[in-house]
């Protein structure tokens, strides 16, 4: 057996400094209920386009 390995001194580990107590965690939401956000935004945009088109047709 190799002497170096058997006679190694235990290494002391330093702990990482603690983070400040007031840490905000920002979570990005991808779903509202069980509906994906991109689907929801797509529906909202389609609804706005439909409303705009209907108002132009009614005014014309």
Q: What pLDDT score does 25 carry? A: 72
Q: What pLDDT score does 9 carry? A: 66
Q: Residue ranges of the chain with pLDDT lower than 70?
A: 1-10, 19-20
Which string of DSSP letters, residue by residue, matches the chain?
--HHHHTPPPPPPPPPPPPPS---------EETTEEHHHHHHHHHHHHHHHHHHHHHHH-
Contacting residues for 32 by C-beta, under 8 A, at least 6 apart: 40
Q: What pLDDT score does 47 carry? A: 96
Query: Domain limits of the chain?
Result: 30-60
The sign of the torsion formed by the CA atoms of 18, 21, 27, 32 equals positive
pTM over 0.75: no
Q: What pLDDT score does 5 carry? A: 58
- Residue matched to tokens 């609804």: 47
């Amino acid at each position: 057996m190799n002497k170096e390995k058997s006679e190694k001194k235990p290494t002391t580990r330093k702990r990482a400094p603690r983070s400040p107590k007031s840490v905000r965690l920002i979570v990005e939401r991808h779903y509202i209920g069980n509906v994906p956000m991109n689907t929801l935004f797509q529906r909202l945009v389609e609804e706005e386009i439909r409303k705009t088109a209907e108002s132009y047709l009614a005014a014309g």
